[in-house]
Amino acid sequence: MTPAKLAEVVLAAAHAVFTGRGLDLSALPQTTAVERPRNPEHGDYASTLALQLAKKTGVPPRELASAIAEQLGRTSGIKSVEIAGPGFLNIRLDAAAAGQLARVVVEAGEAYGHSDRFDGQHVNLEFVSANPTGPVHIGGVRWAAVGDALSRLLRAAGAEVTTEYYFNDAGSQIDRFARSLRAAARDEPTPEDGYRGAYIGEIANTVAKEHPEALTAPEPESLEIFRVAGVNIMFEEIKSSLVDFGVHFDVYFNEKQLHDEGELELALTRLRAEGHIFDADGAVWLRTTDFGDDKDRVLRKSDGDWTYFAGDCAYYLDKRQRGFDRVVIMLGADHHGYIGRMKAMSACFGDNPDHNLEILIGQLVNLVENGEALRMSKRAGTTLTLEDLVDRIGVDAARYALARYSIDSPIDIDVDLWTRSTRDNPVYYVQYVAARTASVGRNAAEVGLTRGAGAEFHPELLDHEKELDLLKSLGDYPAAVTAAAELREPHRVARYLEDLSGAYHRFYDNCRILPRGDEELTDTHRARLWLNDATRTVIANGLGLLGVTAPERM
């Protein structure tokens, strides 16, 4: 019996009590939940439903809990129900009901853990969004790993998600990039505010080879060639490196599109119609202070040029008009001040900022090698890049390490730890279970052991303490996935997988799955193979949500 099914049973028992006592059925919730008690001695699952309903009905909670417990005691699969404290229900399942979860997991396969929590939601998830002036730096890599994992989690919870990368090929940064390329191609010193690193020379040489006229053309024409060609080369490299990292975007959106299609004017017209635009000092302003911003924001300067914030407004409106009811933007730690103005802007459009716009801020990442934090990239010449991280610890370890921690926490990624083939390396610890469960399956096939079907599966035989602990852990997976999606915290899945791995190792060490020598194959062996394969399913599903492989061999 899954926790979700048990929750339905508890709610049904409460419904029976209400009906029998003539209580108002409208006081019953549509759904409820059960949870693992902190002390395993208290039972397999606990429910606070009686406490919740007592407030609505006026019936003392222990009296209500006693009536619900009596109903539950008549339910197949429930071994016992005890009432604790002011009205907690502590529930124990019989072995057959607990063991059935192994079949549920295996038969559900990749769908196990999925839900309809966000069914009907259309989410635009924007992350990384680095300008094409250099390789993706290590901070952006964190967003690549976390953002991609979050997109998978939201989809698993029923949302329709579009992942998006926003970039521009204009502005002062791109001008500096073009000047840097031109200088490198002409063997001139790098401009004082220019970009440095081996990649600049590589791109400059490629542009010069493909467009030799760029070396001798007048400066404006030359810079334009280096700008267009250089940005194209750099951005293709960024996209390629992200694909190699397992990150694929549904949409690449160029800021230039907003200007070319008149979307900034459209946004300004909409905001003026909403009554939040005013003109002062020759400029056009958005009165964001009406919605909690620390100051009003200029949209169009007195010289007629648009501000970056005007582009933000137009881009947000574009997303909303494409049908997204929730816009999620992931930004680095240096963008914390961005939240207030963006939330106010959303309100200026008539939206609910708490529903329609969500901004996630992530903290910094350090790469540590030989006990020292690395600062410089050999190729980029500045901050460390995606390639620097992957070259040292690999894609799987990098993705797992970046997704394993709350985005609110800075990360120190220790190269020695994440390349170690020992249990203190979290990704190795979890992937080892994936490989071990696959190995058990192969070895079982060699000795003729199969799970069997129908009456051949005897879940009641899974009654060893370590088997029951593993079953409980498997049952926790759907709630872990839903919580990770709701809270935007992929690290919850990683920590869950580590707990599950520990439960599997304890099961494996105490409950022999395969027969020894000429030992006869028994129903216990078959039941344990179901449990082994269920673990393999959940480990693979969880790692898949993090974009990490579940190897069959290590």
537: Cα separation from own chain's centroid: 19
Mean pLDDT of 67-84: 83
Q: How many residues in the chain? A: 554
In a domain, 504, yes or no: yes
What phi and psi, each to the nearest 5 degrees, are found at residue 102? -60, -45
**Residue 522: inside a domain:** yes
Is 139 in the same domain as 76? no
Taking the C-alpha atoms of residue 36 and residue 47, their distance in angstroms, rounded to an integer, is: 9
Residue 372, in any domain of the structure: no
Task: With respect to residue 405, please indicate whether it lies within any of the assigned structural domains.
Answer: no
More confident position, 370 or 203? 203
Strands 277-280 and 251-254: unpaired
What residues contact 285, with CB distance under 8 A and at least 6 apart? Answer: 277, 278, 279, 296, 297, 298, 299
Whether residue 264 sits in one domain with residue 127: yes
Residue 358 and residue 274 share a domain: yes
CATH value at residue 32: 3.30.1360.70
pLDDT at 24 over 80: no
Residues 161 and 178 in one domain: no
Element (H, E) at 123: strand 122-126
Q: How far apart are CA 463 and CA 492, in angstroms?
A: 28
CA–CA gap between residue 258 and residue 263 (Å, rounded): 5
Pick from 192, 226, 242: which residue ends a domain?
A: 242
Contact (Cβ atoms closer than 8 angstroms) between residue 330 and residue 146: yes
Residue 387: which of 188, 138, 194, 150 has the closest Cα? Answer: 138
Q: Which of 188, 210, 242 is the last residue of a domain?
A: 242
Residue 13 sits in the same domain as residue 37: yes
**507, part of any domain:** yes
pLDDT on residue 379 = 60
Is residue 453 within 8 Å of 107, Cβ to Cβ?
no
Element (H, E) at 151: helix 138-156
Lowest mean pLDDT among 97-101, 226-230, 433-437: 97-101
- 491 is a domain residue: yes
Domain extent at residue 150: 122-167+248-362
Task: Find the mean pLDDT for residues 165-181.
Answer: 89
Average pLDDT, the chain: 91
pLDDT for residue 378? 58
Q: Which of 338, 362, 386 is the last residue of a domain?
A: 362
* Tens digit of each residue's pLDDT (9 = 90 or more) over 463-476: 999 999 999 999 99
Q: Are residues 490 and 527 in the same domain?
A: yes
pTM of the model: 0.88
What does the alpha-carbon distance between residue 144 and residue 490 come to, in Å, rounded to a whole number?
A: 12
Please tell me whether residues 76 and 156 are part of one structural domain. Answer: no
The answer on 534 and 430 residing in a single domain is yes
Q: Give the model's pLDDT for residue 66.
A: 85
Give the C-alpha distances (Å, rounded to integers) separating 151 from 148, 424, 439, 448: 5, 28, 31, 41
**In a 10 Å sphere around its CB, with 0-12 CB exposed, 13-18 middle and 19+ buried, how is residue 12 labelled?**
middle
Residues 149 and 209 in one domain: no
Element (H, E) at 10: helix 3-21
Inter-residue contact 156 to 481 (CB < 8 Å): yes
Do 72 and 151 reside in the same domain of the chain? no
Structural domain count of the chain: 4
The pLDDT, as a whole number, for residue 512 is 94
Classify 165 as helix, strand or coil.
strand
Q: Return the CATH number at 311.
A: 3.40.50.620
